[in-house]
Amino acid sequence: MLDESVVIVVATPSDNASGADNQQERFSVDAISPDIGHFLAGFALGEGSFMLVCRARPDHRRGWRVSAAFNASQLDAAPLELFRRTLRCGTIRKAGNGGWYFEVNSLRDIQTAVVPFFRRFPLVGQKALEFEMFERAVELMSAGLNDARYVEVLRIRERMNGGGKRRHTMEKILRDYTPNSEPSRAQG
């Protein structure tokens, strides 16, 4: 059971020497039991979100940081802790509504755990389409955000979540931006 005063953080790295083989710490989507995987996929269908987040950042070349995140929230922390333990990444924290919030926002963790998980345990309906768009954006971000990929990620973001209200629109993000053809491995 979770102590409500504690923030749960990503599992700590191995104490093994670099390159040491420890099967217990190495994430493998194939090792997830189908019962747990299907339960968590169903849970994510109702309580999960795939997001492409844009934050104004004057220290970034384009003035905006673009990042990917997967999250789920619930009043009961137990399914969120199961997600964290199963994916071996992410954080859990107390939410403002008295519930709990699980989030994975490391691009590497999204590539190595979140995307493979939802490939093996697919979603259905609109959430499956959201995941496909999210996965494509993660691929683009992983390749390095040159101008063309940056704009394509923003286009995908505009189509996600029903194109709903956004604090920062693509138009606003690109308004003062001058394209530069140099690729950037940074997220933004």
Number of structural domains the chain divides into: 1
Please tell me the distance from the alpha carbon of residue 152 to that of residue 136, in angstroms, as a whole number.
Answer: 10
- 70 within a domain of the structure (yes/no): yes
- 10 within a domain of the structure (yes/no): no
Structure tokens at 5: 């005063």
Structure tokens at 18: 């670099």
> Cα dihedral sign for 25, 27, 28, 29?
positive
- 16 within a domain of the structure (yes/no): no
Which residues, given as ranges, of the chain have pLDDT below 70? 1-25, 163-166, 176-188
- Residue range(s) defining the domain that contains residue 58: 31-175
Question: Do the Cβ atoms of 92 and 81 come closer than 8 Å?
Answer: yes
Residues 6+ apart with CB under 8 A from 111: 138, 142
> Cα dihedral sign for 11, 17, 23, 27?
positive
Instruction: Please state whether the predicted TM-score (pTM) of the whole model is above 0.75.
Output: yes
How confident is the model at residue 164, as a pLDDT? Answer: 61
- 85 within a domain of the structure (yes/no): yes
How confident is the model at residue 180, as a pLDDT? Answer: 56
- 3 within a domain of the structure (yes/no): no
Q: What does the pLDDT look like over 14-39, one tens digit per residue?
A: 333 444 444 446 789 999 999 999 99
- 14 within a domain of the structure (yes/no): no
Question: Do the Cβ atoms of 137 and 157 come closer than 8 Å?
Answer: yes
Give the closest residue to 186 by CA, choosing from 104, 66, 89: 66
β-bridge mates for residue 50, sequence order: 70
For the domain that residue 44 is a member of, what is the CATH number? 3.10.28.10
- 54 within a domain of the structure (yes/no): yes
List helix spans (H) across the chain.
34-47, 78-87, 107-109, 115-120, 125-142, 147-159, 170-175
